[in-house]
Structure 1
Amino acid sequence: MSACGTRAVSVIGFIGSVFSPWYRWSGRKCPQDHVCINVATYGPSGRFTMTDRGQSALRQTASRLEVGPSMMRWDGADLVIEIDEISSLPLISRIRGEIRVTPSAITSVELPLTPDGAHIWRPFAPTSRISVNIDRPGWQWQGEGYFDANFGTRALEEDFSYWTWGRFPTSTGATCFYDATRLDGSELSAGFAFDPSGQVQQIPLPQKTALRRSLWAVKRETRADAGFRPRQVMQMLDAPFYTRSAVETKLAGEVTTGVHEALDLRRFRSALLKPMLALRVPRRKGWR
């Protein structure tokens, strides 16, 4: 998020694009044949890009991930993201630029999201700085950054019905929450406080508090001190099954604004949703 709080950007690299209908329709047999660098910008002139590409578009080394015309690469201590993508309907246009993420430290934390370890959350750099330089007026800014990853050997909807996640900057670093309901009815609830050196401690969980539902009526909740009502301060992504927004909450007496996500996997499981997603996620199998 920008320091002024009016702009934000999200970039996700997928090998096995979990939200792609094309990957689902393929039977999820070859993750390398459904790859993507998803770029979304939020604020004035915001755009959404998510192109499902074939295996010929994927190139990897230990320090570099390339998918078609875009890439992520380590340059010393910085994660550099070079983007050259076409946004999807209804605002079709090219987005080019560079995003640089500078972690204050890299952590060693891994959180299994299921007892058998089929899904793993890996917060590599919960406290980072971000520098954005995109070829649009006003899209040159700096602010709070974050870098994590999720790994899995099964589809999300095979194991979960609902989850929320949030990352909130604090005066001593950043706090992250992960709450999920598994299909078997069991619950995952975890909270971590990270300092700038990468040290982490699991923290007592503040109470779970409801947020107003999204425009698509996705249920939302997050963590907050008793008596405080969290609120959305910036809408980012609003889909029938998924919402991302900037949310203000209060943690250990400190009011903070961070990024919050909610995912309704019962809705995502619906076959009726996949053709709708295909309009937003075009398939481009070939690449040279």
Structure 2
Amino acid sequence: MSLGAKVAVNLPYLRRYARALTGSQATGDAFVRATLEAALADESLRDLIGKGRSELYHAFNRVWASAFVDTSDHSGLPDSDSHEAAANSRLSQITPVNRQALLLTTLEDFTVDEAAFIMDRDPVEVAGLVQDAIAEIDRESTTTVLIIEDEPLISMQLEDLVRSLGHEVCGMAATRSQAREIVAQQTPGLVLADIQLADGSSGLDAVDDILKIESVPVIFITAYPERLLTGDRPEPTYLITKPFQESTVRAAISQALFFGSSRPLD
């Protein structure tokens, strides 16, 4: 298998991680491109990214860490709208290594040892960072959440999870039209949305309806994430794979609220 083919297998998931880490499709994809460009210019890095998924993420972390030394300089990254500026502003305020550890071990399902390799840190330290991030979630302010999901059991599971985090569920919709009706009564502070809905309508279209009214963070949940992680068009910033772990949803909610209101499609 060629190097390009090896990297292509894992590239959609690296895009997912980079977008969640930066709070933006454009900025996350720019860091992924920078990683590939760095690999083309560095033979040792090029050899590394072809070895496996954790090695590719490790190469990405090198690029991310070097850029994060001075987050006030984003001249090499897109800054197309107010969300980009907001995301960069948040990144300049704190060093999100604990959130990075949490995303690696939940959203990306790496072990603590694998995350430690990716972050070039000791496993004990990474385990501590994960616990710090979980503690942050417990201290976060609450919001109202709209759940757009056509499978009743999953919808109820998400409702229980959202309430356990202290958030209020302002509505549960199984179709695009139901989502519109709920939003007409109350605009949510966060949306959790499936892609394929009960009547054949699209969760993407339902979310687009909402975003025409108010800009809110959105997390999409789908069994086929690779279809929305090509980097070729406006795509979701936050994407969870079905079947999901509750810890993954918790981490994604925390990250979305960390960056505040934003369009999921840049």
Identify, as 1 or 2, the structure richer in strand.
1
| TM-score normalized with structure 2 length | 0.29
TM-score normalised by the chain length of structure 1 = 0.28
The higher-RCO structure (CA 8 Å, 6+ apart) is 2
Q: Which has the higher helix share?
A: 2
